[in-house]
Amino acid sequence: METRFHLFDSPTAAKVLKRFSTAALALEESTLPTSLRELVQLRVGQINGCGFCVDAHAKEAAAAGESAVRLSMVATWRHSTVFTDAERAALALAEEGTRLGDHGVSDETWAEVCRHYDDDEIGALVCTVSLINAATRMNVIVHNPGGSYEPGMFARMSG
């Protein structure tokens, strides 16, 4: 697959992406564990078919200490034993928040999220799901392929 368009070639898109990156950096300052944020972003990337995001967030999750077993099980988290109840709540929020047109976020999922996370962590989860959904859509639209991402590239791109 060849990239259709490089967003950084557009002055307007480049400005938006810089601001987008700055917003995402705020999530790194939250108390939500890095590995959980990466698993959530990986799951959204899988759902939206974003090769770049799957590549990036699988590698960032591994760099944050996630095991190969847990990474390979993210797509089938409902049918695995390797995730905690709190992680399951976050992954359910990621799925339902990505597939809003199906039925939105259920009251059951929201209650589980509230049971496991404090207000700041809930805010960070909602923002993580929202931002990665925007990122996956941009990457899929322009055919930004996966495979060449190196851990830490996001930090270098925003610096």
Asked whether residue 80 is assigned to any structural domain, the reply reads yes
Asked whether residue 18 is assigned to any structural domain, the reply reads no
Number of domains in the chain: 1
Positive or negative torsion for Cα 143, 23, 37, 118: negative
Q: Could you read off the pLDDT tens digit of each residue along the chain, which spans 159 residues?
A: 799 999 999 999 999 999 998 998 999 999 999 999 999 999 999 999 999 999 999 999 999 999 999 999 999 999 999 999 999 999 999 999 999 999 999 999 999 999 999 999 999 999 999 999 999 999 999 999 999 999 988 776 655
Domain span including residue 56: 33-158
- What is the CATH classification number for the domain harbouring 108? 1.20.1290.10
Asked whether residue 7 is assigned to any structural domain, the reply reads no
Asked whether residue 141 is assigned to any structural domain, the reply reads yes
On whether the CB atoms of residues 41 and 57 are closer than 8 A, the answer is yes
Asked whether residue 94 is assigned to any structural domain, the reply reads yes
Asked whether residue 13 is assigned to any structural domain, the reply reads no
Asked whether residue 115 is assigned to any structural domain, the reply reads yes
d(CA 52, CA 147): 7
Residue 49 gets which letter from DSSP? T
Closest of 80, 78, 82, 79 to residue 96, by C-alpha: 78
Asked whether residue 11 is assigned to any structural domain, the reply reads no
On whether the CB atoms of residues 59 and 151 are closer than 8 A, the answer is yes
SS3 content of the chain, % helix, strand, coil (to 5): 75, 0, 25
Q: Is this prediction's pTM over 0.75?
A: yes
